[in-house]
Structure 1
Amino acid sequence: MADREHTAALLAGASDGTPGVRVWTPPRQVAFGRRDAREPGFDCAKRIAAERGFEPIERDVGGRAVAYPGDTLAFAHAVPLGDDRNLGSVGERYDRATETVLGALRSLGADVSRGESPDSFCPGDHSVRVAGGGKVAGVAQRVRGDAALVAGCVVVTRADARAVAEVTAAVYDALGVPFDPESVGSVAEAGGPGEPKTVARALEKAFVDGAWGEGDPQVASVDRDS
């Protein structure tokens, strides 16, 4: 099943009142946002990504392009709307999701804080960074009908951080978006584990058992081919 189909299934379940969580490692790709598609350099940026071995795809959630070199995690949490546990406003869901990611990474020993360095990838207010260092994770959101999808990415390994910085610098240059390669961090750099599956399980647990308190959501595989 393709990523879009997995996401659609999560949203359909949430629309019926059943929250769902998925954490996975996407294949090597650059996921462009809707804002990117409106830039004059969009076609050039896609070509640059492909030349570097990253499949260019377009995603429905979020702003600017995000690179997935192979061990960087993506997560998606679909929640029904109208449930007090899931909070009604976009801002409240953003805040809760960011705190959930922070809690998951801190539970693994990573020294992380809220916020990001200037000129980071996919810039936004709801980001997680190495304490005093580069960006590790970002959170995006989409509201559709009677469900919301809170999604994001987490850079796990030092090698992926270097790869993210390299391809993002070239892609953002084509898009005319400011970017500082030194702004990319990783869970490993923050003192946490450099194993994607370990981090994925912690994220799953945090969304299932943590602040959202869903109880028993659908949790999908973290395998690359899921």
Structure 2
Amino acid sequence: MQVLRGRDASPRIDRDHTARLLDDAAEGRPGVRVWAPPGQIAFGRRDAREPGYGRARRAAATAGFAPIRRDVGGRAVAYTGDTLAFALAIPIDDDRGSIDERYATVTRAVRSALEASGAGISSGEPPDSFCPGDHSLRVGGGESEGGKLAGIAQRVRSDAALVAGCVVVSRHDARGIATVLDPVYDALDVPFDPGSVGSVEAADGSSDVGRIARAVERALVEQAPGDSRRIERVGIEPW
């Protein structure tokens, strides 16, 4: 099993590293990556069909975020440079489980890693969240539930699957995401509440991005098949 660490300054090249994980998984080599991508807005296929897509891309670029297209559906996700992304790539055969089982496995792993830092986590998301979906985590554990702090998606091929997502670690990062996504979602005519962006820190967990990255990495490595681990550095780590 391979573990990629670091990021490339180019969003395109950075994405190529994760795509390689999926290709390698198709050859029988599972992989894990947890990193902080360079600043960008990753638009989904649904976004690209909206009349305001061009205006949304211009809003992202004006804010200093590279507008890119990702290979899965869903809505726009912002990465500020501190926002964490994670990916688990595994081969698919008759014994690897279903889409729902992979979602459940990765959700449990990520939630466990965040809770180990002291965060109170609940499943789900508030209304009008960024990139709304069925596999999200939010601030919880107290008298009331708060903002979305993690979302998970899945890309499935006949030979491999990539279960990936994002984690908002600090309150500062949550504010940055809310600020840049507000005009982007407005251009797409998609409901978005800037106050719906949560963070691990707001859930009383750690605000240390590097610490959270390693915790999520360990949790995902435990879910990947195989006993050996090979670490490959593909760029700097900003912590």
| Unmatched segments (≥5 aa) in structure 2 | 1-7
Which residue matches 1:91?
100
Q: 2:43 and 2:147 mapped to 1: Cα distance? A: 21
Match of 2:146 among 112, 119, 133: 133
Q: 1:7 pairs with 3, 18, 21, which one?
A: 18
Pick one of 188, 196, 200 that aligns with 1:175. 188
- Answer whether contact 1:20 1:218 (CA < 8 A) is retained: no
Identity %: 60
Give CA deviations for 1:173-211 in whole Å, capped at 9, x if unaligned. Answer: 1001111111100011111111111111001100112x4
C-alpha displacement of 1:218: 4.9
Q: CA deviation at 1:97?
A: 1.3
Between the two proteins, the alignment pairs up a number of residues equal to 222
Identify if the C-alpha distance between structure 1 residues 100 and 214 changes in structure 2 by more than 3 Å, giving closer, same or farther.
farther
Please tell me the residue identity of whatever aligns with 2:227: G
Quick check: 1:148 aligned with 2:157? no
Which secondary structure state, in structure 1, belongs to the residue aligned with residue 156 of structure 2?
strand
Query: What is the letter of the counterpart of residue 61 of structure 1?
Result: V
CA distance in structure 2 between the partners assigned to 1:22 and 1:163 by the alignment:
23
Q: Does the residue aligned with 2:205 lie in a helix, a strand or coil? A: coil
Which residues of structure 1 form unaligned runs of 5+?
none
CA contact (8 A) 1:137 1:155 kept: yes
Aligned twin of 2:52: 41
Letter in 2 for 1:216: S
In 1, the alpha carbon distance for the partners of 2:149 and 2:191 equals: 18
The aligned amino acid for 2:80 is P
Q: Post-superposition shift, 1:83? A: 5.7
TM-score by length of 1: 0.92
SS of the residue corresponding to residue 63 of structure 1 reads coil
Q: CA 1:181–1:149 in structure 2 vs 1: closer, same or farther (change >3 Å)?
A: same
**Counterpart check, 1:123 vs 2:135:** no
Aligned to 2:220: 207
Question: Post-superposition shift, 1:216?
Answer: 3.3
Q: Tell me how large the CA RMSD over aligned residues is.
A: 1.7
